[in-house]
Every structure is written in C-alpha cells, then in structure tokens.
Chains A and B, each alone.
Chain A
Amino acid sequence: MTNPLTATPVRSGPPPTVAASPRRAPQKPKAARAWATRAPLMPALIFLIAVTQLPFVATLVISLFDWNSLKPDEREFAGLSNYTSAVSDEALRESIVTTVLLTATVVIVSVVLGLMLALLMDRKFRGRGLVRTMLIAPFLLVPVASALLWKHALYNPEYGLFNGVLSWVGDLFGVDNPPQPEWVSDMPMFAVEASLVWQWTPFMMLILLAGLQGRPLEMIEAARLDGASNFQIFRYLTLPHLRRYLELGTLLGSIYIVQNFDAVFTITRGGLDTANLPYTIYETFYNAHEYGQASAAGVLVVIGTIIIATFALRVVSSLFREEASRA
C-alpha cells in the first residue's frame, strides 16, 4: 500500500526513492492511487460481469414476454404471466424437488464414502500410490463418457456388465432364472445417483485425504499415550480438524452437482422423474421453444440459488476469516 509505483502505470517514472514514500508524492491524489490498485482487477471483473451478469439481465427481460420461437410474429409483452405459469407448473416444481434430492443424496453419500476411503488411504500399505491412482480414475473420465459407460456398458439390461455378472453368478450357483433388472427404467433416480456418486467420491476422498495428512500428529500420539481409543481420537481430534475440508468438499460438490446436466441428459434423457432444473430449462427452450417461460423459470431458479448461495457463502466466509486470522 505504501509503494505507489503501481499507482500510475502510464507515467514516465520519478526516481524510485521518491516513489517509495507516498507522502513525498503529493501530485498523486488518494483516489488515483486507489484506482491504480484496482486497475489489475478490472479486466477480470469487467469481463466476468459482461459475460455472466448481462445474460441474466436479458433473461429477466425475456421472461416478461410471451415468446415462442416457432411463432416469432406473436411475440408480445406478457407482464408476469410467465411467472404465474412457471409457479403453477407441475413439471418445474417436480424438477426443483428432483434437483434438491439428487444433489443432497450425491453429496452426502460421496462425502461419507470419501471420508471412509480417505481414512483407509491415510495408512501406509503396499501399493498405496497405485490404489490412489485407481480411485481417482472415475473422476478423470469425461462426464459424458462416464454417463455413457454407465448407461450402455453397465446398466444395459441385455448385455450390461451388471446383468452379465448376475447371470454369470446365477450360472455358477445353478440358479435357472437369475434376476435381470432393467436398471435405468426400474430405478432411474438411483441409476443417475450411483453414476454421480462413483464420479464424485474420489473428489471428496482427495480433499479429505489432504486434510487428514495435515493433521498434527504429535497431538494424536499424546492422546494415544493418554489412553484414548481409536474412536475417541477420530471423534474428538480428527473430525474437528477435518471440519473445514468437509465443508469445502460439500460446498464445491453442491455447486457442481446442482448444475449437473451430463448424467441426466445421457442416462435418462430427463425421463422417469429424473429431470432436474438444468435439464428442464434446457428442454423448455431447446425443444419446446418457449423462450419466455424458460426465462421465467431461469429467473426463479436464480432467485432460489441466491437464497441458498447466501447461506453457503456465509459458511465459506467464516472459514475464510478463520484462515485469515490464523495467517
């Protein structure tokens, strides 16, 4: 803050000795200095506002029109009628419930599984590096590829691996008609969730493992010498230490899974009550061509997200302060 050299990137440069002391440079008013501090930030900020915020303003405007792209001549101002139809829209309401359920299930299950895996991986054993590499493979598949893999190579009722293994085991034990479930149509929600949990557990594991490895080991040794059991150490030392990492994993996981499109789009095509919000809005504008309604739905989703995100951000911001106060 005391060095105003960055303050005026365009000037020809007074001697550095003068520049080192802002009080001896009265020609640079405070405001100019503040702007110069801001200057490096501006390109990123302006770019981000232009590309992410302006479209939302446009969405807001479009949402007030009755606009179907197949009938471009009938476009007219419709006030809030798109909102009333969006609020009373059964499909939209269902997709909100679906989104919440899908996100909560996937995040909770993958955090719990990820924690168990991280605890396993925190021990030394032969081939630990290889096992870690094996565990993160699911996260490194392109999401569409992973969804295709689950849909066609694993879930397919005729030649998918799951039913293949079932009939193979059936043969082995002499069962005549081994069960051959239609995975996707019998349990669509579970099918989508399983593939996402498989992809996101490694992510949670990696973050939690990094957290575990940053544990103060002396404290754990001391607790052990004082006769603390493994469970007590986990409950009173490890878990509190991991809190930040658990919250971070949950937050980041939620951000990405709320917006999931690939798995729903590929595995069920939004059918069978698995259409989440991103898919429903995509459907409304891409296939039904209802621009006004899709936009109203989009605005409602944004409002809902802002409410939830405010809480989420409060969590991060408390972590952030903790971090800052420690530094």
Chain B
Amino acid sequence: MTSLTATAPVTSVPPAARKARRRGAALGLLAWLTGIVFVLPVAWMLLTSFHSEADAATNPPSLAAPLTLDGYREFFGVNGGADPWPPLLNSLGASLFSTLFVLVLALPAAYALSIRPVRKWTDVMFFFLSTKMLPVVAGLLPVYLFAKNTGFLDNIWLLVILYTSMNLPIAVWMMQSFLSDIPVSIIEAAQMDGAKLPTVLLRVVAPIAGPGIAATSLICFIFSWNELLFANVLTGVVAQTAPAFLTSFVTSQGLFLAQVCAASIVISLPVLAAGFAAQDKLVQGLSLGAVK
C-alpha cells in the first residue's frame, strides 16, 4: 500500500492512490493515538512524581502544578525514613550475579544442545522449558524452611541461586537458538588446532554469539530485577530487594502518592533504560530466540 503511493508522482495523483494515502495518514494517526494511550499512565506517574503531595492528591488532577523534587528527596530519605540504597544495591547484586551464573551454566549447556548435541537433545530442551511451567509458589515453602534451618534466610545469595534457576531454562533456550546459527566447521577448525572446550566456548563461540548472549543477559537481568514473590518471602532487613522495598514502603508509610511515583520511577529506571536502549535484543530475548 505504501509502496504504491511512494512511487506515484506527486503532481498527478490518481484518486485511488490519494484515497490510499489518506487511509495511510489516518492509520498513522491511530498508531500515534494508541501509543499515547499506552504511555499515558507512565507519563502521569512521571509528572506526579515531580508534584508536591498536596498537588498530587487533587481531583480533578492539577496538571500545571509547580514541579518539585520533594518526592525524590523524600524517597532517598532526606527527612529520615528508610534508606533505599541498600535495597537498590541488593537488587543490583542479585541481578548481576544471577545473570553471570546463568551465562556460565547456559553457554556450555547450549553447546551440548546445538553444536555437538547429546542424544535426545530435544527432550532435554523440553525438560528445561517444563521447569518454567511448574508454579514456583509450590516449591516456595521447602525453600523457605531450608533457608530458615541453614541460616540462609535474608541472604542475598539465596536469591542469586533461585534467580539463576528461574532464568536458566529461558537462557538455555535462547542460547541454543543462537548457537545453532554458528557453522560447525568454525568450531571443528578450532578443535583441530587443539583448543579445548572452555577455550572453544570463550574464544570462538562467545564472540560469534555475542549479540545473542547480550540479549540473554538483558532478559535475565530484567526478570531478576523484577522478581517479587521470593524476595518478599525470603528476605527481611538485610537482603531486601528493591521491589520488596517498594511494597513495604507503601504499607509502612501510608500513602504518599508523589513519593510512591518517585520510588516506582527510580526502581524501574534500570529496566526502562536497558530496555529502551536494546529494543531489538528485547524482542529476541522475549521470544526465546525464535525471532532474530
């Protein structure tokens, strides 16, 4: 449709093409409108986070109220209250370390499922995926009891292990798909030269599958950063993560809308930034590597 109108000379537009162009403009406008509808709640949250508490809680909404950083100041504990930095750093640590562990485990596994596949490798793939379908909540109690009896409760490394297991199946599926694209001859050539598996993985496979590994890391980081259920049950004061902090923050201090909005923005910022910066990687990752 668009190619038709594009090739038509501007001066003598036939009526059919003019109609098509008007339709195209209308559909473009519709796309813009839906985009605005979808982003509106986020924009509203952003605006409210810069309002004073009094202006945030008005009806009808005060759009043109003066902007202030009070919500953010309050969130970062300028006037006392909980310090958000420990939870933010906990989240960062849990997400980074679990992503690292996932990569270390998933890369060789994906190698054994694509480049030099084990027998019945499809069955193994489905076993990995099936663990993703089991409701995590059913295994929560034993994990809780185990942690309680071994002193691992409220420990960030427990979350690192759980997040690693949570993201490993996704990562294996993604990496398997990316590694299947690598020509086996390249790897055989490296092995002819006497390279052992770790060298092959690090020096040959990883550089070629670099973009795929980046997509995998992005997805694992986002899912770990977002996780709430485990964090809520298994952490307390020391190892609390940002999402858990966000829920406790609301219940303990009552409702301060501007502050809640500021907190939500700050905690979502790493994911928003990473996701916007790597939109294509996001699609690759979310589709388990099926979309390249």
A9 with B141, Cβ < 8 A, contacts A1-B116, A248-B290, A302-B135 known: no
Q: How far is the CA of A156 from the CA of B109 in the complex (A)?
A: 48
Bitwise, A145-166 to B at CB < 8 A (1) or not (0) is: 1101110111010110101110
Q: How far is the CA of A255 from the CA of B129 in the complex (A)?
A: 10
Of the residues B106, B122, B144, B276, contact of A320 by C-beta under 8 Å: B122
Q: A43 contacts B105, CB within 8 Å?
A: yes
A123 within 8 A of B: yes
What is the CB-to-nearest-CB distance from A208 to chain B, in angstroms, rounded to a whole number? 10
Q: How far is the CA of A117 from the CA of B35 in the complex (A)?
A: 9
A112 within 8 A of B: no
A126 with B28, Cβ < 8 A, contacts A44-B168, A133-B279, A301-B135 known: yes
Q: What number of B residues sit within 8 Å (CB to CB) of A?
A: 108
Q: How far is the CA of A153 from the CA of B53 in the complex (A)?
A: 12
B17 within 8 A of A: no
Sort chain A's interface into a size bin.
Answer: 35 or more
B153 within 8 A of A: no
Q: B168 contacts A298, CB within 8 Å?
A: no
Beta-carbon nearest neighbor of B161 in chain A = A51
A121 with B141, Cβ < 8 A, contacts A51-B165, A133-B276, A167-B60 known: no
Q: How far is the CA of A190 from the CA of B124 in the complex (A)?
A: 39
Of the residues A124, A252, A306, contact of B2 by C-beta under 8 Å: A124
Interface residues of B in 29-75 (CB under 8 A from A): 30-32, 34-36, 38-39, 41-42, 44-45, 48, 56-61
A164 with B129, Cβ < 8 A, contacts A117-B34, A126-B28, A259-B135 known: no
Bitwise, B109-147 to A at CB < 8 A (1) or not (0) is: 101110011110010111111111111111111111110
Of the residues A19, A43, A210, contact of B283 by C-beta under 8 Å: A210
What is the CB-to-nearest-CB distance from B102 to chain A, in angstroms, rounded to a whole number? 9
Residues of A within 8 A of B239 (CB): none
Q: B261 contacts A149, CB within 8 Å?
A: yes
B77 within 8 A of A: no
Q: B108 contacts A143, CB within 8 Å?
A: no
Bitwise, A234-248 to B at CB < 8 A (1) or not (0) is: 000000000011001
Q: A211 contacts B291, CB within 8 Å?
A: yes
Q: How many A-B residue pairs have CB under 8 A?
A: 332
Residues of B within 8 A of A140 (CB): 222, 268, 271-272, 275-276
Interface residues of A in 198-225 (CB under 8 A from B): 198, 201-203, 206-207, 209-211, 214
Q: How far is the CA of A262 from the CA of B138 in the complex (A)?
A: 16
Residues of A within 8 A of B137 (CB): 259, 261, 277-278, 281-282, 298, 301
Bitwise, A47-84 to B at CB < 8 A (1) or not (0) is: 11001111110110010000000000000000000000
A120 with B31, Cβ < 8 A, contacts A56-B134, A201-B38, A313-B129 known: yes
A148 with B286, Cβ < 8 A, contacts A134-B38, A141-B264, A259-B135 known: no
Of the residues B140, B232, B265, contact of A285 by C-beta under 8 Å: B140
Q: Mostly helix, strand, loop or mixed at chain A's interface? A: helix
A134 with B36, Cβ < 8 A, contacts A48-B165, A153-B257 known: yes
A148 with B275, Cβ < 8 A, contacts A38-B112, A143-B226, A252-B286 known: no
Beta-carbon nearest neighbor of B169 in chain A = A48
Interface residues of B in 268-292 (CB under 8 A from A): 268, 271-272, 275-276, 279, 282-283, 286-288, 290-291
A134 with B39, Cβ < 8 A, contacts A47-B165, A120-B34 known: yes
Beta-carbon nearest neighbor of B42 in chain A = A137
A97 within 8 A of B: no
Q: How far is the CA of A262 from the CA of B2 in the complex (A)?
A: 42
What is the CB-to-nearest-CB distance from A305 to chain B, in angstroms, rounded to a whole number? 6
What is the CB-to-nearest-CB distance from A274 to chain B, in angstroms, rounded to a whole number? 16
A299 within 8 A of B: yes
What is the CB-to-nearest-CB distance from B288 to chain A, in angstroms, rounded to a whole number? 7
Tell which of B8-16, B78-86, B187-195, B209-217 binds the partner.
Answer: B187-195
Residues of A within 8 A of B117 (CB): 37
Known: A137-B42, A198-B41. 4 other contacts (CB 8 A): A55-B140, A154-B44, A164-B61, A210-B291
